[in-house]
Amino acid sequence: MDRQKVHFLFELATSSNQGTEPTALRLQPIFPRKERLSTMSKERKLRPALSLILVPLATQLIATAPVLALERTEEAQLEPSTVIIKTDIQIDSTRRRPTIALALGGGGIRGSTHIGVLRVLERERIPIDYIVGTSMGSVVGSLYAAGVPLDDIEKMLMKKKLQKAYQPRPLAMQAICQPALMVKHAITGRPCAGLYNGRSLEKYIEKTLPPGKQNIENLNIKFAAVVTDFTSGKLTTFDKGPVAKAIRASTSIPLLMRPAEIDGHLYVDGSLRVSVPSAIAAETGADIVIGVQTDEPLHDKQTKSFKSYIPVFDQMINIVMTELGAKDKTSADMTIWPNLKGIKMYETSPKAVHKAIAAGELAANQALPNLRKILSSKIASRTITTVTQ
């Protein structure tokens, strides 16, 4: 090989940043220009020996240039799931980042707290891969999974649009109308018992969803609504089909709203069987499950506070859901429990909504250090493979 060919190999191994391959380093000519003219005759005699030395060296530089480039080039772009270590070991690049599933509990208006939790996760750019919601958690979760901005969901609650869709008429007025409805049902056929039929809520959800997001399988984030099969008492989920029907079923509190009839089955609120669906969220296969608890911790209350129906019903639900929630927490990697003390389940005021959202943001912010530790531990536990030399 003559000297021109050897010089070409050096240029190839040390090409500039104009090409697609990164630059490792640039070698200077072995022979300074001034010495070349005076050593031409000697150089001709040394060509065979130089070729034996320089050609293998140039070949080795070509082979090692990409590795050197990764060590020296700060602009090298890495895949999010790839970690480069300056040894003969690297993280298995076939694995993705840890996946995260959210399990959102119910709780009526207390479920507004999910907006605050999601807002913090969104601000911190913590991606959510799955959302599993029951009752109010299914409402907030499905709308968020469909791409409805959190500010818009908050406005729906602050302006009582969602509350009015759930209860088109005040509860007392609806109860007074029941005798007249009974006469109508005697003629047309009696439906399942319930003060509200749920059609208003279903239509409102349909209208609120963005175009092309009417079905669960088309949502931006994988979603499942937790419901209770009222005829068998079994817990089940809707992970496909119309979003609005699934939400209506997941929020149908017996006696208050008629059970949703879907494919010959009657479905009611999923909170009858589960407070926070962490176990169901774990079945998605997500690496990390985060539960959001909305129940108010049990504490002694004064006897005089139970002289009307709503506080009695609220306390009854709290007792049941606290027991269910204790079981659900074991399936989550972490549970966020906002302080919702004093917020009644069936309140509709903007003040209660604002307080619940603020409590969710506070609790999520406090949980961030622990969440980051869990994320780090999941990344560190990935399979490490030795690179074959």
3-class DSSP assignment, residue 76:
coil
Task: Give the burial class of 226: count Cβ atoms within 10 A of its Cβ; 0-12 exposed, 13-18 middle, 19 or more buried.
Answer: buried
Cα–Cα dist 311/346, whole Å: 10
Q: Is residue 194 classed exposed, middle or buried when 0-12, 13-18 and 19+ CB atoms within 10 A define those classes?
A: middle
Rounded to whole angstroms, the Cα distance separating 71 from 24 reads 8
Instruction: Classify burial at 200, counting beta carbons within 10 Å of its beta carbon; exposed 0-12, middle 13-18, buried 19 or more.
Output: middle
d(CA 21, CA 75): 12
Question: 177 — phi, psi (to 5°)?
Answer: -75, -10
User: Structure tokens of 69?
Assistant: 């480039």
286 to each of 23, 237, 312, how far by Cα in Å?
A: 40, 17, 38
Q: Which residues are known to be catalytic?
A: 135, 269
Residue labelled with tokens 């129940």 = 295
According to DSSP, residue 336 is labeled E
Beta-ladder partners of 335 = 291
Query: What pairing do the DSSP bridges indicate for beta strands 384-386 and 89-91?
Result: antiparallel
